[in-house]
């Protein structure tokens, strides 16, 4: 790459991997985060786009076999144009940029225009997709090498760039990308060149994604089988004896949530761990944050309570968010945990307790059930008449807890520690996926997530959600779903994220 570049802009040509967003490299992920312009292809996971800065310009340049959003030359010029403006441009490509990704053409264009660029390799679908189907491209005693070829080329043309006799005569594995449209001719040509018609073949559709399907046959019958199974691109084709290894090595299909596409509607800062646990069970996650956690509009009430902490007998935290925002404000006002001496601390839920213990507090009480009605019932023997109780929580929290505590004789200060506002999920994408019946289940972790999702889907929410399973974290959230005229298919017995995951897993067993 040349030195003395003309602009301070740069283009990162990043391989995003084959589909599973977790297969991107750390360097590739960093390039997404720092991009001023993110230019991405059709097969890029929507979850990767969520790592982009809010200020980043996102430009879709995806291609289908029968139509292109932009021609390749236009993409090349777009990269150069944005970088020439001094911007950090991340070009996000499926698989690896240099394995039939046309990354070389884009890099050459940038070099010709003296634009700085870097190549960030990605995990190619030629290796990863067979691996996700339980097929190693090499295996001791079975295949000592593999060849990756394009299936776009017409197998019947006279001056082929491919050495068909070598492909048919070798003892290794052939991996054919973008070959579904030519499948019948590809298999015919390999047999004509001498490859045994009984050679095993695997077709892997949407590999390393929730919609992964694998069809196994032989050179002699795979084309017909694919028609019967209605196999469509994108498909990776594998030929060779390694295909037989799938019977023993397939692993993804064994996961309890394999093939399920699940929407996580939590606030983005809370969604990651939930999503990771569902992914570990084989699900593909669509993050659609319908709520956003923000500071209170006015700190007056919270600050007043912080200024008289010594007067409270109990401080009841109902969520991790309440803990976080309470202690942030405590620090901002020049105080620390020493100001909480004398008050007993109650945590509703194990995660809330952990958040408090991480801040050095001993939690006096954790109710066994995380519903306001049950909490009050269990606290009534612990809170005396006239004792002051502080409830730092969300602006839209239910009134049952403070009203019930007051009924016990407590003096309750129910203060706003944070607000929940409508989130910034990609509504157009979710509507498209729901319309195409590509969502299996939507999770709700609070009544706010229910209300906001219905609002964001608009007048056709009921139609869009028809046939989609709905999961609620507990009875209060479930009741809100039913109030919307919708059916609750999954309800957690333990009102926690882990309890919800367990209920979802049981639902699909």
> Which residues are catalytic, by number?
41, 63, 178
C-alpha 43/C-alpha 27 separation (Å) is 19
- Backbone angles phi and psi of 442, in degrees to 5: -120, 135
Q: Are 23 and 44 in contact (CB under 8 A)?
A: no
Contact 257, 505 (CB under 8 A): yes
End-to-end CA distance of the chain: 54
Question: For residues 354, 357, 361 and 365, what is the CA-based torsion angle, rounded to 10 degrees?
Answer: 40
Structure tokens at 49: 């786009």
For residues 463 and 439, give the distance between their C-alpha atoms in angstroms, rounded to a whole number: 13
In the chain, count H helices and then E strands.
20, 22
Q: How many angstroms separate the CA atoms of 479 and 220, rounded?
A: 56
Say if CB 393 and CB 446 are below 8 A apart: no
SS3 (DSSP) at 495: coil
Supply 227's token pair. 């028609």
Closest to 219 (Cα-Cα) out of 279, 167, 281: 167
Phi and psi (nearest 5°) for 50? -75, -10
Assess contact for 355 and 323: CB atoms under 8 A. yes
Backbone angles phi, psi at 293, to 5 degrees: -95, 125
**Closest by alpha carbon to 45, among 64, 26, 30, 32?**
32
Q: How far apart are CA 313 and CA 407, in angstroms?
A: 17
């Amino acid at each position: 790459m040349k030195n003395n570049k003309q602009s301070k802009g740069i283009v990162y040509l990043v391989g995003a991997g084959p589909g599973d967003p977790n297969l991107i490299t750390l360097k590739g992920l960093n390039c997404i985060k720092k991009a001023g312009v993110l230019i991405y292809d059709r097969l890029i996971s929507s979850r990767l786009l969520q790592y982009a800065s809010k200020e980043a310009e996102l430009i879709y340049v995806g291609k289908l076999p029968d139509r292109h959003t932009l021609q390749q030359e236009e993409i090349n010029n777009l990269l150069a144009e944005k970088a020439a403006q001094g911007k950090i441009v991340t070009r996000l490509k499926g698989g690896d940029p240099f394995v039939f990704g046309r990354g070389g053409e884009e890099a050459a264009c940038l070099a010709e225009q003296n634009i700085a660029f870097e190549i960030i390799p990605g995990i190619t679908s030629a290796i990863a997709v067979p691996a996700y189907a339980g097929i190693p491209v090499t295996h001791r005693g079975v295949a000592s090498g593999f060849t990756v070829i394009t299936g776009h080329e017409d197998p019947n043309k006279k001056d082929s760039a491919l050495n068909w006799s070598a492909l048919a005569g070798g003892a290794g594995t052939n991996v054919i990308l973008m070959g579904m449209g030519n499948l019948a001719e590809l298999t015919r040509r390999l047999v004509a060149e001498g490859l045994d018609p009984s050679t095993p073949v695997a077709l892997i559709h949407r590999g390393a994604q929730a919609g992964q399907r694998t069809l196994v046959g032989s050179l002699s019958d795979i084309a017909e089988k694919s028609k019967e199974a209605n196999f469509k691109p994108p498909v990776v084709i594998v030929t060779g004896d390694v295909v037989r290894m799938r019977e023993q090595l397939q692993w993804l299909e064994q996961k309890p949530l394999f093939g399920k596409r699940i929407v996580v509607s939590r606030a983005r800062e809370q969604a990651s761990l939930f999503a990771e646990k569902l992914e570990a069970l084989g699900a593909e996650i669509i993050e659609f944050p319908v709520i956003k956690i923000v500071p209170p509009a006015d700190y007056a009430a919270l600050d007043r309570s912080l200024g008289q902490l010594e007067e409270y007998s109990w401080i009841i935290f109902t969520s991790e968010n309440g803990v976080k925002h309470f202690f942030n404000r405590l620090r901002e006002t020049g105080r620390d945990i020493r100001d909480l001496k004398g008050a007993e601390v109650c945590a509703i839920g194990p995660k809330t307790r952990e958040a408090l213990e991480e801040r050095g507090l001993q939690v006096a009480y954790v109710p066994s059930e995380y519903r306001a009605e049950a909490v009050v019932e269990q606290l009534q023997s612990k809170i005396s008449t006239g004792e002051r109780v502080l409830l730092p929580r969300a602006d839209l929290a239910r009134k049952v807890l403070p009203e019930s505590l007051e009924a016990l004789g407590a003096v309750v200060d129910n203060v706003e520690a944070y607000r929940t506002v409508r989130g910034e999920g990609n509504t157009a994408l979710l509507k498209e996926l729901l319309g195409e019946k590509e969502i299996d289940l939507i999770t709700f972790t609070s009544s706010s997530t229910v209300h906001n999702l219905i609002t964001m889907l608009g007048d056709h929410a009921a139609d869009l959600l028809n046939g989609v399973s709905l999961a609620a974290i507990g009875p209060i959230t479930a009741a809100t779903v039913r109030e919307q005229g919708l059916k609750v298919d999954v309800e957690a017995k333990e009102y926690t994220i882990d309890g919800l995951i367990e209920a979802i897993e049981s639902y699909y067993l």
